[in-house]
Amino acid sequence: MVKNNVTRMLESQGIPFQSFELPAEKLSALEAADFLGVDPVLVYKTIVATRSATTKPVLALVSAPREVDLKALARALGEKKVHLASQKQAEQLTGLQTGGISPLALLKHNFQVVMDDTAHALEEIYISGGQRGLNIRLPTDELIKLTNAIIAAISR
């Protein structure tokens, strides 16, 4: 089992989880779901967005088959507009490689996390483990608590 800061933090807090090793190359969330052999609606991707007023990014969590609705995300944050970060921007803002960006790896940065409301119907979800090639399955309610996520309809 791969150990990193995310898995050590989950263990230290007694949060039940299971980690899964995937190929080290960048996989889309749909490809990760296929590799894991799970329904893609259970696999959530972390999308990095920026606001005009601050340089601190927003992390939007949506299921693999869906995409972020930027207008809905802006409404959930009380903003007029948010922008999707480019791959390069996302990596610069988070310090993580795309395909490995995880809200759990960024807890100390206090980034705002917004999770699509479709997650509420799920007992557990899969998210990146903070590095390419690592995926974590954990209880949805634990992820919401850990990240202080806003729950809103932010996908289409």
Q: Are 102 and 127 in contact (CB under 8 A)?
A: yes
pTM of the model: 0.94
Give mean pLDDT, residues 25-45. 94
Confidence of residue 24 (pLDDT cuts 50, 70, 90): confident
Distance between CA atoms of residues 108 and 33, nearest Å: 28
Confidence of residue 56 (pLDDT cuts 50, 70, 90): confident
Query: pLDDT at position 129, please?
Result: 95
Give mean pLDDT, residues 69-83. 95
> Largest Cα–Cα distance of the chain, in whole Å?
43
Distance between CA atoms of residues 95 and 76, nearest Å: 25
**If we measure between CA atoms, which residue out of 137, 146, 100 comes closest to residue 16?**
137
- Average pLDDT over the chain reads 94
Position 1 pLDDT exceeds 90: no
Distance between CA atoms of residues 151 and 148, nearest Å: 9
Fold of 5-152: YbaK protein (3.90.960)
Position 151 pLDDT exceeds 90: yes
Q: Which DSSP string corresponds to 54-117?
A: -SS-EEEEEETT--B-HHHHHHHHT-S-EEEPPHHHHHHHHSS-TTS--GGGGGGGT-EEEEEG
Among the listed ranges 27-31, 110-114, 151-155, which one has the minimum average pLDDT value? 27-31
Position 55 pLDDT exceeds 80: no
Structure tokens at 30: 């749909």
Q: Are 155 and 67 in contact (CB under 8 A)?
A: yes
Position 119 pLDDT exceeds 90: yes
